[in-house]
Every structure is written in structure tokens, then in C-alpha cells.
Structure 1
């Protein structure tokens, strides 16, 4: 047995076909293959899952219940595992207290610095922590924000009171609070509020001094609309009903805390300074600026703190995150930014012999930034760890110690190791990745597509100042494919968000599409009702007979296919339902067949198989759209929560392809995520079909093949954060050559 390798024998998780494999340890190993070939099943669902499960087993039951859950893989033997750390693209938690500073530990070092050097002296470092009662602002409890009334949404100025000018629930004509304003004789109830004086509108909204200055007789207990709304909805300790929660969501907004102005800290911590700057001011600086400030601190007593903070900040700059600020909420980070921050966090670890499992680390990175990420992966390896990377970028493959390709195709046609060796041998191999690499090399610095289509009309984004955008105005041609490019943090996503805000558009992102474990590709895209209807017509029984959420559900597991037992402080146990064998349907439902298949059998078919088996128009059209986006390997009954971000996005595209043919603007966020080189070509064909149907397609993308195929290109930069936010180029990609910009240089090869 090879003790310097992770050995697997007969691994069969998901679509893996009895895989036998030795993965070398203490190397950078890149796993490649077509989308759906089994890479993630091998790396995440087998190697990482078994390592995580065995590590959890070393803790007592009470602690295990609070650790991440791992499902043991289907494998006969696995050996040579070390503790695993997964660095995925999942966004860093939704905790409102989590910031870039806290999650990278940079804030810990910064507040330690202030606790030793600040003037006036405040106290220990917890006095600079907004997560500690001794340091947090008492007004906002350290959140930096308070919920305030969105007063501009309260009134419809074009209506009178008796026409429903007060939009709030319960304040309209005939409602409970209406009489408090319409029946007191102080306001004209028939005149639109726009024709009222400013003083009258102020009195209606705020009461108090505004009402007194109005000079009209008002009840002694008169409350303005804003005061009454806040008393009813914001200042109540009762559990809020769903109706009240909806009202709060509609008529409030988050605003900076008036006490701390967003600094999150108590007064003494807010006023203490180091070299004339408060900790709140430094937290809002870009990390590149903060790094220069910290390097300039030359006080021997705090030299270890300065060194640790400098190392952490330098790593973030190196990885391309220098445009962020320590005060930036982690909930606002993209998946790629979140992944890079998780990587930075690991660089300070003194542990060795760990296994790092990294999912597409180049996502969200401009081609010029990829080398920095590769350097960090190599740094993790050189620290004595094993680094297993799932990746499609040839630049990462070239730096690998070894490449393992899974395939040859997706789904049932994949799940086998078709290549293992160095990059040069892969280029010569007769595998999907080998052939794709050779084609890419043959194209070399391929000129951009000169067949750019002309737009029909235009979409105008005017005076955009969101985030780092500098009063940007762009004209995006309609009816073609426009690509937004630029280095990470240059303003691409901000411009896309402004487009959605200023023009009607459908956003197709990579967020999960499943609302429950019952959601599948066919339920999400609307094909399921047609399948149930076909079964009902062929067998002369009600449609509900073929729904696992209705009359057709297995009575034992209620259509879930599994039974779960709660074991208190131990991990709950989930077993396949013994009554239906996991098929989810009742015995009666399974007796009815179409083309020899029961309704449960249909769920086990892949989309490609189902296309050949069912010619019904309502079914076949939707299935063909799923196959067109490269998802033919998915099973019809596969739960959506098992799909990757890229697969989720393609399911959404398929749904849109099946929708009405009205002209629509689609905005896509890095649709090549998770796609093999061959699958990118398939995606481009799908985007071309959207354009051919009269739609406008706007894509935020770094992939050079997509950029070269664009009809119109908008490049932002020149750098990230405050160094970006300007338009460097607008026009046809073929005209963007010879410029000293990152994108122009990348296109030139």
C-alpha cells in the first residue's frame, strides 16, 4: 500500500464506476473532465466526505452534532487520508456581524494594535470589538445599521387621502387608522397630496413641531403617520405576524446607525486614534492603503502584531482582494471573493499534512489575476499539504504536479479515470480535455470573432454611481450579446446591477434553484405537470395519482423516499423508506405504466434518455431545452440541491428558453463557471439562440472564448475598487487591440 498516496478501491459514489485510484499526497493535483463527469463525486463526495466523517468521529456525540455533516461515500476501501479543509465557492455565512476583517482575523490584529498604541488609552482589545458588549455601540448593538422608515415610500402624492394616498396597511380609506387623518378636519381629503403645501405634508407625516407650525387644531394625542407606523411595527416586542413582516420589508430600509455612523463601536473606541486615525476610519480604507499604513508603524513593542497583520493584508493584496475594506460585510461578497478569502485564512496556519480541497479557484478572476491564485495554491502545497483542485482553466493545469481526468463523458457515460499524469502528456492524450487543449493551442492568440451582429435599439444605463462606479453612462445595444469585462472589483457586477435597476431585465445567476429536496429539473422547468398529465390520460386516472406531493405519495414516507429518526444530541439517522424503497410513490401509482415505465422509473431516466422515450410535445420541448444547455446527463428526478452553481444557472437558462418569445433582456453572471472547455462552446450556442429569438444578452464574464464571441464589449477598470469604476472601452471586440489594458493584453494572447 502506498503510504504517500490517498488510495481508493471500488469508489462508486453517484456515477463513479468502481474507481480504483492512487492520488499522490503533498502535491498539487488538478482534477479535470466534462461537466457532470464525476470530478466532484470523486473529490468532494468521496475523498473529502470520508476524511471529514472520520475526523468527526474522533469527537464526542454532543460535539459531533454541531460539526459539519458528512455523508459516508460508497467505496470498498479508502486509505491515506489526512484532515480535510474544503475551500468552496459557497458565500461566507449570512451573519450580519461578519466582515472581511473578522473572517480573516485581520480585525483581531488591528484592534490589538489599537489597544496598545491608541490615544487616549481605552483598554484591552475587546474594547475595540463590536461583537463584545464592552466594545459594541449600544444604539445598534454593534451592527452599524438600524432599521429606519423608508418615508419616501409612504405616500402616493398623485392621490388624495380618500383615494388611498397613504400606502401603509391599515391607513387607506375605510381602514382602521384612516379616520385618524381623514376625519379630524385638519387636512383636505379630496386634493392630491402633491398640491398640498410642504408644511401640510410634513404635519401629516411627522406631527410634533411640524403639526404645531401648521397652525390648525389637531387632537392632543395626534400622531404623524411615521410615528404611528414605527410604534406599531418597529417598537413592539410582540412576535410579528407575517402581514407585519411584509409591511416592514416594504416600508423600511437599513440606514447607518445615527450614534456610531456605521463604525459599530462604542464612543471611547470610536474616538481613540493611532497616528491620527480612528480604527473605524482605517477599517473603511482599501486594504492596499491600510497595508501601507501598517508597514509604517515602527514600534518595537508591537512588532509581532504589525508583522502578523502585514502578512495577512499582503496575502489579500496578492490574491487580488486589495480593493476590499476590512469593514466590508461578508454577505456582500461574491462566491469567488468568498473563496479567495477562505484561502487567505488558511495561509496563516502552522498545521501541515492537511488535505485542501479547492473548487474552481479561478472563478471570478480576470486572466491576469490567475497567476496570483496559482501561487497561493503552490504555497499551501509547499507548506507540507496536499492540494486537490477541481478546475477547468488550462493555466492551473499547467502548474499541476499531476492531472487526473474523469470521464469520458457526463452522467452514466462518465465516472471513470481516463487519464492520470503530467500536463504535457494530457495534451497528447485522446481524452475530451486533451483534445480540447490541443484545439485551444492551435487557435493560439485567436483573433476575435469579426461576425459581430448589429443591435436593434439600445439599453441606456445613465449616471451610475453604485459602489465604485464613477458616474458611468453606457449604451448597450439591444438584440445582441454584450460582455462586461474587467479585473475583479473593477465594477462589472455593479454595472450589471445598475442595468437591472434602470432597465427591465431577467437575472440568471448561480444561486440555488431548489426550494426543497423535492425540487427537480423537471419540476423547476415546468415539465412535471405534462408528464403527470400524460400518465393520467394513458391510464384513465386522476393526475394527482402521479404526484409524490399529493395522492400518489408513499403513505409511509409521505413522498420523501426516506425516513428520518431524530436522535437528540446525536446526528439524526436517515434511512431509505422500506415501504417504497426510496421510490417515493404509493404501490397503486407504480402499477400504471407509459411505454413500459412507471412514474418512478421516469425519474431515474436521464434527460437524454427521456427525449427518446417520450415524444409528447409538452414534455419533449422542455427536455430538449435542458439537453441544449448541456444537462442531458441529469436524471429527471435528481434533487436540485445536488447541482453545482453552474448547473443551477444552466437549468435557469433552459427554463427561459422554454418561456414566451417576447423580447427580454437577460443578465448572466459568469455562466462558464463549472464548464469544461467543450461545454463552453455548447453554452455559446445557447446564448446565440437567445439572441436569434430577439432577446438581449448581457454577460459578466472573464472567459476569453466568450469575450471573443461577443457582439459588443464593455471593459471596466483599469484596476479594482477605487482604481476602477470607469469605462475603458465600448465597442466591437475586434476593435479592442493594442491597448495597454489587462483585457486587451489577454485578448492578444
Structure 2
């Protein structure tokens, strides 16, 4: 364990850490400095910083409370570490997206909403009332039609009903109406319907009664009918129970089912503004609060430069401070009414940073998990300034990061490796960024080498034309997209890259397959094997070896641990705070019951298989072509370090996208000349892993494929054959075609922020 010079006294000392893949790691982390942890994806960076240092700090803080309070807090397990010393209060700012609460917006997440409501309640004309009268989360301010959501919901009857089935067979595709349960009995025993007749044979009147009856008094119900003797149709009952009670009271599985059955429309009364008529009519200088929150951060900040009122001067000062903070982290293109749940992981992380910039606390340890995710090189300088600002206030900054610009400004660097998973978990280097470049480690070597542009770009065999591109902030430009090559679509965050590549291009040319970063369905109940379509084959192999039914080897079926129901953890809801999960004591986080775990395949249980990485799975199932092929594509898309049983809700946006790409590539029906659009696929990847995935692109393009990749990573741009640069800025300042052509020509353009960044990356090492 190397000794370090700390700017603030005794360092944070970690002795013998064995969390996840860490190999008895010991180190000293200096306080009051900016320390960056590097290493290939899966090397153990997050295990050391997030799962050991940050986790132990949180556990010790909880232990400092009284017994009464501790009894009501989740009991966090101690990390696998021999000893730790010098810990301080720790704030973890990770890339977890905000929860799916439709009542949370950028304004509420940054506490701007309360300040804006205060301004309008004091000087708005005509006044709608006190501050709550301007809140869509308060009955006095919300639109009565949509109850402050901005959208109205309805049931998609075609999805809900299976007309081929009769009542006894369960015609409602919603588990709360399955045969035998309480809600099924309400129509099965109402005495109104022939239970043996398929719904497709119902008369219009019978179907209307079955779906939309409202408190119909029953003359002769079956004895099993609930005692109310009033009948509601299926849709009526769903509206009353599942729309009015709110999603927070539903289980995750019911919410997931409901999402498949519900259609949403903009509220016809408030037209999506969420507020009632009185709040919408209250104006300040000719604009309503709806107008203010509908503006981009940069536009609202410009408006407030020319607006002042001594009656609300302190509130306006607070609004300007938060807007300036959002601008400083590159989020000037966001509107304040944007739902928090729609933000990317990188955007959500930067919003969280804003909440801590004005804190009066010092001597805090701030932990950041890849804060550069989703940022253009031009924006990273502002991020770096924020990290330094937090450090200079007397705090300790720990950053898990791959980006050369962030590594270059570190006071101290810890490089883990040398590989991923079982091949990693060791400290390869501790010291300065310059020392890292000279160290000879994988990270150091790649940092020391300037990027080399593709010397001779491949020639396109043809092109497709996108005309009048106008999605979101795009300004209506025309551009040709070459086929049979790698095209990088570049520009600052919010410039319109994704709008062009993932909306306009496939809309005008549907033969392009978009593999984006949208949330994958399944969450904690799904994993890589499920997405790749080989989970059933794995269960079948265990079934054949043990004689047990395949459902015993599913944590969503008979094999589930009875205590955690196959989740592997117990979740504690803490009201307005984030939920906290702790490993299940019954199964130890393995998710399976004893019967499932007792069956072995070549000495491995089903839990052992789910904890293994693709290379091990491919070796175990070498005789199963489908499984082996899927595992090969996982490795080739840069996911070789990922345990195949990792829950989807724990994967980053980049990991999910690469997993979807692996699924697409492993499909035996895939056309070798297919056209694929990827949205920032290198998010979370070490430069060495980026080279792996660009090599994959090269191999597939040589086989006839076309790739269009939205990217900030200059390693990908340098390897591209063609670049489409959109900008020059974000939001209303972007959306224009800045450049199209080979990377070498882009690097010579001084009017492009991407060109400047590419030129800097090719001149010399950072």
C-alpha cells in the first residue's frame, strides 16, 4: 500500500478490500484532493469506490443515529474489507436515472419550482393565490382534468381483451383479473354473462356491459359474488382502482403490466401545461409560469437578465443561481418542464451535481460515477471546473472515470486492472496523471498515444438522402448518409444528433434499425440471458441434467427464493428519499431457493451460472450453438466483463445498448448488409474497450453492414469514414448542419467544436 501526501491531514485508508472482484486491495486516498480511479470496464473501479468506500461511509453514518432511528433504517451490510479509516460524510452522485414519477420535472428536481411559484404568487397578475396555487402537485393549482399530469390515460381495449377466450378461460390480459381471483369473480359470478361463450361472440350491448358498466345493480348474482351486489365493467374498475389510487401504491409487476395496457394523450383542457386556468392566466411581464418553465434554461436565463422586481429580488437571485449552475454543467438546452424520468443517466447526474454546488458543508467526500457520460469534449471543461470548485471548498472528490480530459486534471490517479472481472481487481498504478502516462499500464499507454485518424476512409457503395430534417430543434437541413461505411454523428449535448440519427433517419428510411438507450423492459426481473433469448436454453440444460421442470431454474418461477420472491434483495421505501435495497438474508442475494440451488451442471448451480461472465458460459455450454453464439457477441460488443445474470436495472445506458446490439447480431435471421443506428454505444467504456467495439464495427462493415453512430468519443470519430457534425451549440443554438465529410477535414475546421476537439486529440496525448 503506497503512502500518499494528503492536502487535508490523514488520508482515507482502505486495507484488504475484497468486494466483488477486488483482490485484497489496500490503498490510501488523499483528502481534499481530486482523485480519479481508472481501469478497463469491469476492472473493479466501482467496486472499490462505490461499493466499498461510499457504502461503508453510508453504513457508518446510519450507525451514528439513535437505536430508535436505526431500527427504522435499512440494515446495510458491511463491505468485504479488512479495515477502513479516515472516512468522512459521503455524497454519492451516480448515473441512476430519476424515478419514473411523472410529477417530477427538472424544475422540481433542482428546487427551482418553489422559487418560481413564489415569484408568481407575489407579482403575477391576476394572482391565482399563494404559492401552492401555481403547483401542479397541489389540488389548488393542478388541472382538474388530468390532475396535474399533463396527460390523460385510457385503456387500450384491444390489448386488454383476448376475444378468443371465454370468462372461465380468463379473457382479460391483466393478472389482477385472472381466473379465481377477487376481481375475476366480480364478472364471473355477476349472473350477467354466459361464462362459456367467447367474448368475440358477445353482442355490442353485452360487450359494453362487460367493459363499461358503472355500479349496475344486480338482480340475481351468484352466491359467490361479493356482497355489494353492484357490478362495474372491467375498464370502469381499472379506471377507478388503478388510475385514481396512483402508481406509487402498485407493485412493480402491476405497474409493468399496466404500462402495456394504457394509452396516453395530452390533456385537452390544459394542453399539457398541468396547471388550472387561474394559474395559467396569471402573468409576469406578459408571460405565465407555464411559459417560463417551457423555455430552455439558457433562454430563461437570458430573459431574467432584463427583468427585475424589488418585491421578489431574493427569489430571482436564487433562480439565476440555479440556472447558472445548470448552464455550467452543459444543460442549458433542457426545459424546466421536462420530466425527470426522461433524462439520460449523464443528464440526471449533472442535475444532482447542481443541487450540491451551493452547499455550505465542507470536508465532505463526493463520489462521482463517470460524470463525463453524455458530454461533448467542449462541455467537459465546464464539468472539470465544477469538480475543482467542490474540491477547493475543502472537500474530497473521488471520480470513477475513463475520459482523458478528466484524468488529466486529477491531483491523484488510481489505476485498477489489468483486465476485467477475475482478471482485474488489483491496483496497477498510484500517482499523478503524468506518472500514469509513463507507467506502461493499458490506461497509461492509451493516454500517452495521440489518436490516429483513419488514413484512407472506406468508400460508400451508395447513399441515402435525409431531407428537411426538423425533429425537435433540427432546422430543416438536407444531408446524404453513406452506405457500407461507419458514419459518426457528432455535436455538443443537445445539438440535435440523436434527433437526426434516431428519429429523422429511420423515419425517412425505415430499413435502418435503431439500437438506442431506451429502458429495457424487465428491470430487476430480467437479465442478459433473457434479452439475448437464451435463458430458456440454460434452464432446459439444468432440467435435463436434474430431472426437474425448467421453471425450477427461474427466479421468476418455482425456483424463486420465498423471502425475496426472486429479487435477491429486500427494498425499503423511504418516502421522499430514494429506496434502499439490502441483500436477502434467506438466499444471500442468490435469488433461488434450496431446491433450485441443489441441482448442478458440471459442478455449477444455476446461481453460479448467472454470476459467470460470457467466456465461462460459452465454455460450459459449448455444445449449445445458440448460447455460445450469444456469448461470443457479448464479448465482441465489449460486455465480456458482465455477469450474465446481472439485473437489467443495474446496467448503464451504454451497457444496455451494447446488449441490444449483441442480441441483434446474434439473430440467425440477420441480414449481413443491415443498416444499424447506435446512440452513444461507448458510454462507460475504457479506451481499450472502445477500440474493441470499433474493431467489431470494422469487421461487420467489411461484411456489408452500415453503421451510423451518435458519439462524443473522439476515438470513434477518428476511426469513422464519414462525419456528420450538428450544432454549433445546443437547443435553439443548434440543429444546423455544421459539417459533413471525412474526419481529417473535420479536424481542420475551427468553426466546429467537434473539429477543435478532434484536432487536439490527434496532436498529442492529454
TM-score (norm 2): 0.78
Q: CA deviation at 1:265?
A: 2.7
Matching residue within 582, 607, 610 for 2:614: 607
Aligned equivalents of 1:85, 1:493: Cα separation in 2: 32
Matched, 1:72 2:78: yes
Could you say which residue in structure 2 is the equivalent of 1:176? Answer: 203
Q: Partner residue of 1:262?
A: 272
> How far apart are residue 404 of structure 1 and its match?
0.9
Cα distance change, pair 177–71 in 1 and its aligned pair in 2 (3 A): farther
1: distance between equivalents of 2:235 and 2:723? 47
- Which piece of structure 1 moves more, 19-28 or 598-607? 598-607
Q: CA deviation at 1:614?
A: 5.1
Q: Which of 472, 475, 499 is the matching residue for 1:470?
A: 475
Q: 2:522 aligns with which of 515, 519, 525?
A: 515
Contact 2:517 2:657 in 1 (8 A): yes
8 Å CA contact 2:486–2:720 kept in 1: the answer is: yes
Q: How does 1:32-181 map to 2 (within 5 A)?
A: 32-59=38-65, 70-147=76-153, 175-177=202-204
Displacement of 1:688: 2.4
Change (3 A) 1:269 1:738: same
Give the secondary structure class of the aligned counterpart of 2:126. Answer: coil
Deviation at 1:310, TM superposition (A): 1.3
Alignment of 1:473-622 (within 5 A): 473-495=478-500, 496-502=502-508, 503-510=510-517, 515=522, 517=524, 519-531=526-538, 541=547, 544=550, 547-548=553-554, 553=559, 560=566, 574-575=583-584, 577=586, 584=592, 594=602, 602-603=609-610, 605-612=612-619, 615-616=622-623, 618=625, 619-622=627-630
User: TM-score with structure 1 length normalisation?
Assistant: 0.79
Where does the alignment leave 5 or more consecutive residues of structure 2 unmatched? Answer: 160-196, 209-232, 244-252, 761-766
The reply to whether residue 698 of structure 1 matches residue 703 of structure 2 is no
CA contact (8 A) 1:233 1:244 kept: no
Alpha-carbon spacing, 1:695–1:576, altered in 2? closer, same or farther (3 Å): farther
The structure-2 alpha-carbon separation of the partners of 1:302 and 1:462, relative to structure 1 and needing over 3 Å to count, comes to same
State the alpha-carbon separation in 2 of the partners of residues 86 and 47 from structure 1.
10
Does the 8 Å contact 1:115/1:124 carry over to 2? yes
Structure 1 residue corresponding to 2:654, chosen from 626, 646, 662: 646
**Alignment length (residue pairs):** 674
* Residues 1:423 and 2:433 aligned together: yes
**Per-residue deviation, 1:582:** 5.1
Residue number among 335, 345, 360 corresponding to 1:335 in the alignment: 345
Deviation track 1:680-715 (CA, whole Å, cap 9, x = no partner) reads: 100111222333343332211111111122233221
**Which of the numbers 699, 712, 731 marks the counterpart of 1:689?**
699
Of 279, 300, 318, 1:290 maps to: 300
Contact 2:562 2:593 in 1 (8 A): no
* Conserved 8 A contact 1:590-1:600: no
Could you say which residue in structure 2 is the equivalent of 1:743?
Answer: 754
- In the alignment, structure 1 residue 626 sits paired with structure 2 residue 634: yes
Query: How far, CA to CA, are the matches of 2:562 and 2:198 in structure 1?
Result: 49
Which residue number in structure 1 is paired with residue 680 of structure 2? Answer: 670
Q: Which residue of 1 aligns with 2:398?
A: 388
Whole-angstrom CA distance in 2 between matches of 1:562 and 1:290: 46
Alignment of structure 1 residues 340-419 onto 2, 5 Å: 340-419=350-429
Q: Distance in 1 between matches of 2:522 and 2:386?
A: 36
Inter-partner Cα distance in structure 2 for 1:567 and 1:312: 29
Q: Indicate the residue corresponding to 1:189 in structure 2.
A: none
CA distance in 1 between counterparts of 2:623 and 2:396 reads 51
User: Residues 402-458 of structure 1: CA distance to partner in whole angstroms, max 9, x if unpaired?
Assistant: 111111111112111221111111111121111111123xx4xx4444222414553
Contact 1:172 1:178 survives alignment (8 Å): no
Measured after TM superposition, the shift of residue 348 of structure 1 is: 2.0
Match of 1:322 among 317, 332, 342: 332
Q: Residues 603, 141 of structure 1: CA spacing in aligned structure 2 closer, same or farther, 3 A cutoff?
A: closer
Q: How does 1:269-284 map to 2 (within 5 A)?
A: 269-284=279-294
Q: Over the residues paired in the alignment, what is the CA RMSD in angstroms?
A: 4.1
Relative distance call for 1:94 and 1:40 in structure 2 (3 A) is same
| 8 A contact 1:514–1:641 mirrored in 2 | no
In structure 2, do the counterparts of structure 1 residues 245 and 307 end up closer, same or farther at CA, with 3 Å as the change threshold?
A: closer
Contact in 1 for aligned 2:150/2:272 (Cα 8 Å): yes
Shift of 1:281: 1.6
Tell me the residue number matched to 1:25: 31
Deviation at 1:389, TM superposition (A): 0.8
Shift of 1:667: 2.4
For residue 14 of structure 1, what is the aligned residue in structure 2? 20
Change (3 A) 1:256 1:718: farther
Take 1:377 and 1:609, find their aligned partners in 2: how far apart are those partners? Answer: 40
CA deviations on 1:342-398 (whole Å, 9 max, x unpaired) are: 111111222222221111111111111110111111111122221111111111111
CA contact (8 A) 1:148 1:255 kept: no
Structure 2 Cα separation of the partners of residues 563 and 13 of structure 1: 17
> Which shifted more, 610-619 or 130-139?
610-619
Deviation readout 1:461-501 (Å, 9 max, x if unpaired):
44443221223444433333222111111111222133344
Q: Aligned partners of 1:620, 1:725: CA distance in 2, in Å?
A: 43
- In 2, Cα distance between equivalents of 1:588 and 1:327: 48
Name structure 1 gaps, 5 residues minimum: 154-169, 182-230
Q: Retained in 2: the 8 A contact 1:552–1:586?
A: no
Question: Take 1:410 and 1:379, find their aligned partners in 2: how far apart are those partners?
Answer: 33
Deviation at 1:106, TM superposition (A): 1.9
Separation in structure 1 between the aligned mates of residue 145 and residue 591 of structure 2, nearest angstrom: 54
Q: Is the 8 A contact 1:546 1:599 kept in 2?
A: no
Larger mean Cα displacement after TM superposition, 602-611 or 707-716: 602-611
Alpha-carbon distance in 1 for matches of 2:75, 2:561: 28
Moved more, 355-364 or 113-122: 113-122
Distance 1:695 1:14 in 2: 38
8 Å contact kept, 1:715–1:727: yes
Task: Give the deviation of 1:551 after TM superposition.
Answer: 9.9
1:323/1:530 Cα in 2 relative to 1: closer, same or farther (>3 Å)?
closer
Is the 1:553–1:559 Cα contact (8 Å) retained in structure 2? Answer: no
Name the CA shift for 1:560/1:357 in 2 (closer, same or farther; >3 Å).
same
The CA deviation at 1:571 is 8.6
Separation in 2, partners of 1:558, 1:318: 43
CA gap of 1:584–1:676, structure 2 versus 1, over 3 A, is same
Secondary structure at the residue paired with 2:639?
coil
Deviations 1:29-48 (A, max 9, x none): 11100100000001111111
2:658 matched to 1:658?
no
Verify the 8 A CA contact 1:549 1:559 in the aligned structure 2. Answer: yes
What does residue 212 of structure 2 align with?
none
Give the stretch that moved more between structures: 700-709 or 722-731: 722-731
- Equivalent residue for 2:320, pick from 293, 310, 316: 310
Secondary structure of the structure 2 residue equivalent to 1:494: helix
> Partner of 2:740: helix, strand, or coil?
strand
3-state secondary structure, aligned to 2:40? coil
**Matched residues in 2 for 1:471 and 1:141: separation?**
36
Larger Rg: 1
Secondary structure, counterpart of 1:9 in structure 2: strand
Task: Specify the SS of the correspondent of 1:713.
Answer: strand
Q: Does the CA contact (< 8 Å) of 2:298 and 2:333 recur in 1?
A: yes
